[in-house]
Structure 1
Amino acid sequence: MSLIKDSTVALITGTSSNLGFNIAVRLLEQLPSSRDITLIVTSRTLPKVKESINDIKQYIHEKIPEKKNKVEFDYILVDFTDMVSILSAYYELDQKYTHIDYLFVNAAQGVYGGIDWKAACVEVLQNPIDAVTSPTYKLQRIGVESNDNMGLVFQANVFGPYYFIHKIKHLLAKDHGKIIWISSLMSHPKYLSFNDLQLLRSPESYEGSKRLVDLLHYGTYKNLKKFGIDQYLVHPGIFTSFSFYQFLNVFTYYGMLMLFYLARFLGSPYHNISGYIAANAPVSAALGKSKQAIKTGSACTRFGKEYLSYEEVDTTGSEDVASYFNKLVKEWDEKLKDQIVNTRQP
């Protein structure tokens, strides 16, 4: 019998990433064994979806075999840099599901161009902890637009997911669903200009997009509460991510890893290194161990014992950001009103 209609439904964007995978397995571990669970895996491509499902199934088999017959998998193909793809994903979910209990917004796309190795060496020599906590030597391309004529990183990491939430709000509201936005340790106000909300002129568009995530959360969570939806803001700390591997060789990768461990040993609480520890804050927030008005971070001791950190955020401009996004939502509702496409191919 299919579990899709009656089970606890969790949707994780970017499930194929290190963090996405670990959010999935930690959630499966911590949900009550009495629950049937439908896990909706997302990616831009079918091979990545299949790989993610196989990896999670293998984890269940090895680590939580008692959940083997409690989990059913589904998938949607969605590209948050393509508004038609987002609409198609909504249409597919709306046809199949009556509710969604958990939505993890794990969007983390950058437009990296490489590493300024000279600057990296200087930063590491001057302050090794800062060099692997708030690096400035990662080069990002400026002015990259999507095919929808929006800032690519802006659309991928913030507006695309926000529009997706707008479309599936009724599914989240049905059974008091929860939204968990994944922000970043580097979402500082200095990375965002209110004259460039789409981050087209920013040399730090990734960090700017995560600052937008922070402000968007604070500008919208109270209104979502009125619909019966709880929204949370978290960050995963610093961990080994696959997104930057193309710019590293075996020596620089292990050099980076060594600096991570050094930073942790010297007292940095955010060098979690492990994707499993990084997923602590997202899953804890989903399961009610956080507050909506505060940012929850994944942290650990120098010996790797995990804990949660609770952080205040400068919310200046959150209402303006929410207003801008809602205006853009209306514009895209109008543009897409006659276009519904199903992404699932036979």
Structure 2
Amino acid sequence: MSLIKDSVKVMITGTSSNLGFNIAVRLLEQLPNDKEITLIVTSRTLPKAKESISEIKNHVKNNIPEKTKLLEFDYILVDFTDMVSVLSAYYDLDKRYKHIDYLFINAAQGVYNGIDWYSATVEVLKNPVDAVTNPTYKLQRTGVASNDNLGLVFQANVFGPYYLIHRVKHLLAKGGKIIWISSLMSHPKYLSFNDLQLLRSPESYEGSKRLVDLLHFASYRRLKEEDGILQYLVHPGIFTSFSFFQFLNPFTYYGMLMLFYIARMLGSPYHNISGYIAANAPVAAALGKTKQSLKVGSACNRSGKEYLKYEEVDTTGKEDVAKYLEDLSKEWDEKLKHQITNSRQK
């Protein structure tokens, strides 16, 4: 593979997800045609990376053929719940690139254990819009740690990506952009400062996204002033994600989809349903169309016409979160200082 030396470098974590795929295609649609593009796909496994590349290639060929000759692919194998894998991804990036223009942190792992169907039924009957906007009936396991002895969801969604950024900051310096994908459900109530690794939390996924919010507001000014890196915080609203399909059958899936459309018709701005609409805010941020000082969400009206919705965030505790992650990074710098791996050998 001959990587294009002066191309625009785009790296998307979680490229194989519905949102990751749509971030890729929307960005490719909107980037100008005057420069080559290197799209860096990430995955835990090589077959999945190849599958993602194939799907994006087919979409480009059929929908934006003018980009075909401008586009080149690369892949990075990384498992954010494995710190050696994260370090290996850093070594591969540092070896092959001098600069990364766009880094989308689309990590989204949960430890779901099913659905409390009784609670789900009660919530839908009481308030169908709220039931599919702020659901409390998704069951999550507690106490799940990674092999690195870190909270698994904390590591997958927050610390693993944060540590990668910590390592590749020099590649993003002087103009690179980081886009953190948060969630609509990242309320302060989901995070306890006595449990920052979310090991005791029954809502570890939501707590991880609250940490992402606080991390962004603690760090975006410093990244800009010290490194020339622009960091943005977005959320995709509510859309059809494949991560929860294992707990649904055809009846419950289409029932959920129907409730999404009902919520949209009743005025919910967040039920985008389409992954393409959900990718609006991440791509708009990457292209400099949003503010760093606000969280911006993908939204649409009753007819599905998309727009951006700006939100203010309660940033209480942001410095505590930033210091915790900084200190933890130093610990792992020490633990990993003699560890060198190459992800392409996995």
The corresponding residue for 2:130 is 130
Q: 2: distance between equivalents of 1:245 and 1:3?
A: 37
Shift of 1:3: 4.2
The corresponding residue for 1:158 is 158
The corresponding residue for 2:333 is 333
- State the Cα deviation string for residues 250-279 of structure 1 (Å, max 9, x = none): 000000000000000000000000000000
- State the Cα deviation string for residues 141-198 of structure 1 (Å, max 9, x = none): 000000000000000000000000000000000x410000000000000000000000
Is the partner of 2:114 in helix, strand or coil? strand
Structure 2 residue 88 is matched with structure 1 residue 88: yes
The corresponding residue for 2:180 is 181
Shift of 1:5: 1.9
**Is the CA contact 1:3–1:36 (under 8 Å) kept in the aligned structure 2?**
no
The corresponding residue for 1:76 is 76
Where do residues 106-145 of structure 1 align in structure 2 (5 Å cutoff)? 106-145=106-145
The corresponding residue for 1:219 is 218
Q: 1: distance between equivalents of 2:250 and 2:42?
A: 30
Letter in 2 for 1:119: S
Q: What is the root-mean-square deviation of aligned Cα atoms in Å?
A: 0.9
Q: 2: distance between equivalents of 1:288 and 1:143?
A: 39
Q: 2: distance between equivalents of 1:33 and 1:229?
A: 24
Where do residues 165-176 of structure 1 align in structure 2 (5 Å cutoff)? 165-173=165-173, 175-176=174-175
Structure 2 residue 263 is matched with structure 1 residue 263: yes
Structure 2 residue 200 is matched with structure 1 residue 197: no
Q: 2: distance between equivalents of 1:112 and 1:56?
A: 29
Letter in 2 for 1:227: D
Q: 2: distance between equivalents of 1:262 and 1:45?
A: 38
Shift of 1:345: 2.4
Where do residues 182-331 of structure 1 align in structure 2 (5 Å cutoff)? 182-225=181-224, 226-331=226-331
Where do residues 4-83 of structure 1 align in structure 2 (5 Å cutoff)? 4-83=4-83
Gaps of 5+ in 2: none
The list of structure 1 runs, each at least 4 consecutive aligned residues, that deviate by more than 4 angstroms after superposition, is none
Q: How many residues align?
A: 345
Shift of 1:222: 1.2
| TM-score normalised by L of structure 2 | 0.99
Shift of 1:2: 3.5
| TM-score normalised by L of structure 1 | 0.99
Shift of 1:4: 3.2
**Is the CA contact 2:4–2:36 (under 8 Å) kept in the aligned structure 1?**
no
Letter in 2 for 1:74: D
Shift of 1:59: 0.5
Is the partner of 1:58 in helix, strand or coil? helix
